[in-house]
């Protein structure tokens, strides 16, 4: 068990345990609606709920809040299970709000029998018009005083399918003049003739979120029901329902601030549009802030957990810089990713004084700080590739890489000097002719001669041809809104580099394995790879490129 820093919710839980509340039990839940894939905001809630259960010897349930049949499906539910497990969490029970439909119906009948709920025959629009505003009280429905018998009969006929969508609804009978609009006789059941991914056509009335959430919590013995701040105004309703029906326990709802990240959108509704309208390649597109997108991008579970730990849990919504998320994965991969060499934009170099048929094996360490990661051999021969950016024909003063007449060090290899620049008809540099100094093997010169630049390279003969996908922010605007987000997409969010050259060791790298390509950043092997042709996603650069871009 790792020691998490404390936060106000942990303090409440610790206090409750000390006071013997709930007999010292701690039960939390993570209650996603299976109407999309999980995103990094959900990860915050997952880490909080599962983390608290872990720390205090409690349990956390995964509960599908599946009460909107039109929007939910099994693909989403499966992806949610996969993502929670990938993040490293285990639920105690796998639960479904739909699994409680019969009991929730029973609680609704109980409220009707107590005169605390009624069938309203206003249309949804009329109900909205009667609701009032923040400054004006609502108006009571003409159906508010229906007798218990009539309500029971109508509710039974709603369930039996005698009415169309929206013809009637069941409302809690609370207070149309309440200062809290959520307490103005909220609808707790509505008619929806729609097939449900689990209950099929068994039901045509479905309970509303506020009615479902609190009762599901109570039925599961949840002690602390953690949700985001927008539900603060719903807490009186949460408590009202639990106070007025016969439930086994009364969980405590505690609200915390949502995570928002800049340069992206997090609402499932907007993510869904990006996916359905094909602005991105799918829910796991590496540019999306979804868990599956981050995973495909190369994020580790630990990096996401560390990020959630670092941003903390407070009582206010915050905007977090994308750089904070990237820092978390950079830190993790710096420690754990093996190093390799790869050239993204290759430029051929011929070493004229190196024997034509010789290939020698040089030794490279897999990690500069972790000897236990071992060493590998990398081939060196007369023809190699270097990075196009590592050569300039007419370099400025502070440029220490290759230029005509200039000597540089090849990482793990020799010093080379550029003797000649070969161009094509268009005047573009297509090849360099160099010489090497055989005395400098391993990167030092016996005469103490110093070179300033050290460059990565790949042996041409057995280089692996690869595709590398380089990502930038998905949006141009730091805070895209639901109104403008489609106009704010960054047209350069994906750059595909073909014919990149990698050292041969990477030919058989496993899907999802992660490497640092020296001087280039961290990369992850994509599922689109095949045996002869790896595809890599750049997870993140070695330094914070976001800060640089902003400057």
- Cβ(238)–Cβ(247) below 8 Å: no
By CB under 6 A, residue 187 contacts ligand ATP: no
- Taking CB under 6 A as the criterion, the residue among 31, 58, 346, 413 binding ligand ATP is 31
45 is in the binding site of which of ligand ATP, Mg ion, none (Cβ under 5 to 8 A by kind)?
Answer: ligand ATP
User: Smallest Cα–Cα separation from 61: which of 184, 206, 213?
Assistant: 213
Residue 513 CB neighbour total at 10 angstroms? 14
By CB under 6 A, residue 33 contacts ligand ATP: yes
Catalytic residue among 268, 287, 296, 340: 268
Catalytic residue among 81, 258, 273, 348: 258
- Taking CB under 6 A as the criterion, the residue among 77, 109, 172, 227 binding ligand ATP is 227
By CB under 6 A, residue 266 contacts ligand ATP: yes
446's tokens: 């016996």
Cα–Cα distance, 252 to 254 (Å, whole number): 6
By CB under 6 A, residue 258 contacts ligand ATP: yes
| Residue that the structure tokens 């800049």 belong to | 262
Q: Which residue of this chain has its Cβ atom nearest to ligand ATP in the complex?
A: 41
Length of the chain: 551
By CB under 6 A, residue 45 contacts ligand ATP: yes
Cα–Cα distance, 432 to 240 (Å, whole number): 78
CB of 534 to Mg ion, least distance (A): 38
CB of 280 to ligand ATP, least distance (A): 16
Q: Which DSSP symbol is given to 6? A: P
Select 320 or 451, whichever has its Cβ closest to ligand ATP: 320
Residues 6+ apart with CB under 8 A from 515: 337, 338, 339, 340, 506, 509, 522, 523, 524
Phi and psi at residue 127, to the nearest 5°:
-60, -40
339 tagged catalytic: no
Residue 258 CB neighbour total at 10 angstroms? 16
* Binding region for ligand ATP (CB under 6 A) out of 144-152, 258-266, 319-327, 368-376: 258-266
296 tagged catalytic: no
- Cβ(38)–Cβ(291) below 8 Å: yes
By CB under 6 A, residue 267 contacts ligand ATP: yes
Q: Which DSSP symbol is given to 349? A: E
Select 305 or 339, whichever has its Cβ closest to ligand ATP: 305
258 tagged catalytic: yes
- Cβ(97)–Cβ(72) below 8 Å: no
CB of 122 to Mg ion, least distance (A): 25
Catalytic residue among 33, 255, 338, 387: 33
* Binding region for ligand ATP (CB under 6 A) out of 42-50, 99-107, 192-200, 447-455: 42-50
By CB under 6 A, residue 41 contacts ligand ATP: yes
| Stretch 423-462: interaction string toward ligand ATP, x if CB under 6 A | ----------------------------------------
Residues 6+ apart with CB under 8 A from 147: none
Cα–Cα distance, 540 to 523 (Å, whole number): 7
32 is in the binding site of which of Mg ion, ligand ATP, none (Cβ under 5 to 8 A by kind)?
Answer: ligand ATP
Strands 429-437 vs 346-351: parallel, antiparallel or unpaired: parallel
Q: What dihedral do alpha carbons 346, 387, 336, 53 form, nearest 10°?
A: -80
Select 7 or 212, whichever has its Cβ closest to Mg ion: 212
CB of 297 to ligand ATP, least distance (A): 19
Q: Residues of 414-429 as b/e, b for ≥16 C-beta within 10 angstroms? A: bbbbbeeeeeeeeeee
Select 118 or 231, whichever has its Cβ closest to Mg ion: 231
Select 213 or 303, whichever has its Cβ closest to ligand ATP: 213
Look at residue 382 and give its three-state secondary structure. coil
The residues that are catalytic are 33, 258, 268
Residues that bind ligand ATP (CB under 6 A): 31-33, 41-42, 44-45, 65, 227-228, 258-259, 266-268
């Amino acid at each position: 068990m790792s020691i998490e820093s404390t936060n106000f919710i942990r303090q409440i839980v610790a206090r409750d345990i000390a006071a013997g509340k709930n007999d010292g039990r701690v039960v939390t839940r993570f209650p996603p609606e299976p109407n999309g894939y999980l995103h990094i905001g959900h990860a915050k809630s997952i880490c909080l709920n599962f983390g608290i259960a872990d720390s205090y010897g409690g349990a956390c349930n995964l509960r599908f809040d599946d009460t909107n049949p039109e929007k939910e499906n099994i693909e989403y539910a499966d992806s949610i299970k996969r993502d929670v497990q990938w993040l490293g969490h285990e639920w105690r029970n796998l639960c479904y709000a739909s699994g409680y439909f019969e009991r929730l119906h029973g609680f609704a009948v109980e409220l009707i029998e107590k005169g605390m709920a009624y069938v309203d025959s206003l249309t949804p629009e009329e109900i909205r018009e009667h609701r009032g505003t923040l400054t004006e009280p609502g108006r009571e429905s003409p159906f508010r005083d229906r007798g218990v018998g009539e309500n029971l009969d109508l509710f039974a006929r709603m369930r039996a399918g005698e009415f169309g969508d929206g013809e009637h609804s069941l409302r809690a009978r609370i207070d149309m003049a309440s200062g809290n609009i959520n307490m103005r006789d909220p609808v707790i059941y509505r008619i929806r003739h729609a097939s449900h991914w689990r209950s099929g056509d068994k039901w045509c009335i479905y309970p509303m979120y506020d009615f479902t959430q609190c009762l599901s919590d109570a039925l599961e013995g949840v002690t602390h029901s953690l949700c985001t701040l927008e539900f603060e105004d719903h807490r009186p309703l949460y408590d009202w329902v639990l106070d007025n029906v016969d439930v086994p326990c009364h969980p405590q709802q505690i609200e915390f601030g949502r995570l928002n990240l800049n340069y992206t959108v997090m609402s499932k509704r907007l993510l869904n549009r990006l996916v359905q309208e094909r602005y991105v390649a799918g829910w796991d597109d590496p540019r999306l802030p979804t868990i599956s997108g981050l995973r495909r991008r190369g994020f580790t579970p630990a990096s996401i957990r560390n990020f959630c730990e670092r941003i903390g849990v407070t009582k206010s919504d915050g905007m977090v810089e994308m750089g904070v998320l990237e820092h978390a994965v950079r830190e993790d991969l710096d420690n754990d990713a093996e190093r390799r060499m790869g050239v993204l934009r290759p430029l051929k170099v011929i070493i004229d004084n190196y024997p034509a048929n010789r290939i020698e094996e040089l030794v490279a360490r897999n990690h500069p700080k972790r000897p236990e990661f071992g060493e590998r051999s990398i081939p060196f021969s007369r023809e190699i590739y270097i990075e196009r950016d590592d050569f300039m024909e007419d370099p400025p003063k502070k440029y220490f890489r290759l230029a005509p007449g200039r000597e540089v060090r090849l990482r793990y290899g020799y010093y080379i000097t550029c003797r000649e620049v070969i161009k094509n008809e268009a005047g573009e540099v297509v090849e360099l002719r160099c010489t090497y100094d055989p005395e400098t093997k391993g990167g030092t010169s016996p005469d103490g001669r110093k070179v300033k630049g050290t460059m990565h390279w790949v042996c041409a003969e057995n280089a692996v041809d690869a595709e590398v996908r380089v990502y930038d922010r998905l949006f141009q605007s730091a805070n895209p809104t639901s109104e403008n987000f489609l106009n704010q997409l960054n047209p350069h969010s994906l750059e595909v580099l073909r014919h990149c050259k990698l050292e041969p060791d990477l030919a058989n790298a496993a899907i999802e394995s992660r490497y640092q390509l020296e001087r280039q950043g961290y990369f992850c092997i994509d599922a689109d790879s095949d045996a002869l042709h790896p595809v890599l996603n750049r997870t993140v650069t070695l330094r914070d490129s976001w800060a640089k871009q902003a400057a």
